[in-house]
Amino acid sequence: MNVLVPSALRSYTRASQVQADGGTLHALFADLDRRYPGLRFRVVDEQQQLRPNMRVFVNGRGVRDLGHALAPDDFVAIVLALSGG
């Protein structure tokens, strides 16, 4: 499936979009980490939860559950939430 990568993580992928496989978001991030070592840790914390500053959209719908099922033709966008004042 196509995965949109935010600019903050492109040092891992060297591309704005990459291909990855997985039946769930958890499996997708495992595949991304296999292809691009270190990427998963920037998105998923030690408790296996999305980091607070990360957002994931599957076909345009926000998802926080890493157990969310994926289909091979889904489009996943990883977005870095901005903060500040």
pLDDT tens-digit profile of 57-69?
A: 999 999 999 999 9
Domain map of the chain by residue range? Answer: 2-80
Q: 3-class DSSP state for residue 34?
A: helix
Widest CA span in the chain? 39
CB contact burial 44-82 (16+ within 10 A = b; e otherwise) = beeeeebeeebbbebeeeebeebebebeeebebbbebee
Distance (Å, whole) CA 13 – CA 11 = 6
| pTM, to two decimals | 0.91
Q: Tens digit of pLDDT for each residue in 8-26?
A: 999 999 999 999 999 999 9
Is 2-80 a domain of CATH 3.20.20.150?
A: no
